[in-house]
Amino acid sequence: MEMRVFGATGRRVPVLGQGSWYLDQAADRAGAVAALRRGMDLGMTHIDTAEMYGSGAAESLVGEAIRGRRDEVFLVSKVLPSNAGRRAAVQACERSLRALGTDCLDAYLLHWRGSVPLEETFRAFEDLKAAGKIRAYGVSNFDVDDLEEAWAVLGPGKLACNQVLYHLGERAVEHAVIPWCRDHDVAVVAYSPFGHDAFPDEDSAGGRALAEVARAHGATARQAALAFLTREDGLFAIPKASSEAHVRDNAGAGGLRLTAAEVARLDAAFPRGPRPAFLPMI
């Protein structure tokens, strides 16, 4: 599993991690826990969750998976915008810590932009950092104007990452968000990297191109898709898997690198389109 420096934190984190959105709804909870643990065995030790996911149920599931292995994990959770006030964010973080069974998060993110001023949220994050409850903090679903405002509040070296919707069918972040983050040493983390029930059909033109690129590496189409999304330094992805077979497939992309010609072929097969007025999110 390739490791990369995670933005301004200076810490090396696996290029592929594990998401947990809807994981609490898996029919087989024990299987979902086993999948997370198998992912850790395979080097996918960046685990992402949020207080929103199942109203904390996903955090509890992640906590079960990492029990006895907390030191192996780069653990991330997210606070809802409605809980992003100075006191409320501290309380929300403490609830997340209890659900996860740990005393510290490696990164704590504002899930999306809300009505609470960023200055207030970031003061809460600084309070949590000073108290040893988080090691770093960042944001999610921030477009460039939001990132610029955050940067004006914080200055350099504070914002660890921006977690965004990014998959072959939704490449809006490539227009401005990824370049901005690259220039400011902010990690970009792709959530829903296979799309939300929208992975390219193998009979489509894009699906055929993806399959051919994958076959050249003895890989699967999903592995090739992950390799495309993480083709540059500073890019990470957190695919979710509720079965050990799926997590093994995801982990197989951890060392896969596409050639420039293959990247160009997928770029043509999945055009990013014009820059939208608003950054897509789900």
Name the 3-class secondary structure at 89.
helix
User: What pLDDT, in 10s, does the model give residues 156-205?
Assistant: 999 999 999 999 999 999 999 999 999 999 999 999 999 988 899 989 99
53, 108, 137, 166: the active-site residue: 53
Q: Determine phi and psi for 259, rounding to 5 degrees.
A: -75, 165
- Print the SS3 string covering 140-160: ECCCHHHHHHHHHHHCCCCEE
pLDDT computed for residue 54 by the predictor: 83
pTM of the model: 0.95
In the annotation, is 166 catalytic? Answer: no
Q: Determine phi and psi for 10, rounding to 5 degrees.
A: 80, -5
Mean pLDDT over 253-266 rounds to 96
**pLDDT greater than 80 at residue 27:** no
User: What pLDDT, in 10s, does the model give residues 49-90?
Assistant: 999 988 889 999 999 999 999 999 999 999 999 999 999 999
| Number of other CB atoms surrounding residue 94 within 10 Å | 14
Beta bridge mates, 187: 161
Mean pLDDT over 7-12 rounds to 94
